[in-house]
Amino acid sequence: MLVNIYNFIVDILFPLECIGCKRKNFYLCEECIDKIPEPNHEKLDNIVACFDYQHPLIKKAIWDLKYYNKKLAGFMLGKQLGGYMQEEISELRQIHNGQKFIIIPVPLTKERRRERGYNQAEYISRAFTESFSVNIFELHTDIVIKNKDTGHQARIHNKKIRLKNMIGAFSLNKNIDLNIYVKNRIIFVVDDVTTTGATLFEIIKILKKAGAKEVYGIAVAH
Ligand SMILES: [Zn+2]
């Protein structure tokens, strides 16, 4: 609530300008986006990310989205992710004969969601789906549930501890008909940042176990 009021006042006092070059009426303009590199470290299996998280503009945009409820940041990032994946998605669509793909934003715990008031991965997911000219996605926020807070995974450097921390962190919603929404479906799990891939890997594992045909993790930054 306070953040919303703060944002409202800031928007009036300081009209939108690009966080990179201060150009008016953009949150982040195309020219600045073009300067942001793709992730330059080793690719994670079945995970796609479009920007290098080390770049200050991406760090800033994700920070704005996560902690200051800047929907525009989420919207811009989701659109970019969609643009980045146009070809891959249309190929998949041809292979799978026009069936709809399921989009699942990485969930927050109930408590965290209440505290923050929104889930940033949902903003990204919505903009992602809207960046395709045809409606080929079903967005579902209630298939996967986060049961416990896993803290800052990136700060846990020991891989074993990180994976142990993930055990039981997510589960599938028992009130959802998995035969319809998971079994034999192509699913994309969307996150803002992936560092080690631990969160996305865990959710991919759960969905695969429940019979999903193919599951991919997609993130704005890595
Ligand atoms: Zn700019």
Task: Give the pLDDT confidence of 157-181 residue by residue, as tens digits.
Answer: 677 777 788 889 999 999 999 999 9
pTM here is 0.91
Ligand 1 centroid from CA 83, angstroms:
18
Ligand 1 centroid from CA 7, angstroms:
21
Ligand 1 centroid from CA 21, angstroms:
4
For range 58-86, the mean pLDDT = 95
Ligand 1 centroid from CA 11, angstroms:
18
Q: Which sequence spans correspond to the domains of the chain?
A: 38-221
The amino acid sitting at 83 is: G
**Domain with residues 38-221, CATH architecture:** 3-Layer(aba) Sandwich (3.40)
Ligand 1 centroid from CA 19, angstroms:
6
Ligand 1 centroid from CA 27, angstroms:
8
pLDDT of 204 strictly over 80: yes
Ligand 1 centroid from CA 112, angstroms:
32
Q: What gap in Å lies between CA 117 and CA 23, rounded to an integer?
A: 30
- Residue 154's pLDDT band (cuts 50, 70, 90): low
Task: Give the pLDDT confidence of 125-150 residue by residue, as tens digits.
Answer: 999 999 998 899 999 999 999 999 88
For range 120-128, the mean pLDDT = 97
Place of tokens 């803002």: 192
- Position 1 scores a pLDDT of 65
Task: Supply 142's token pair.
Answer: 């209630």
Place of tokens 């703060």: 6
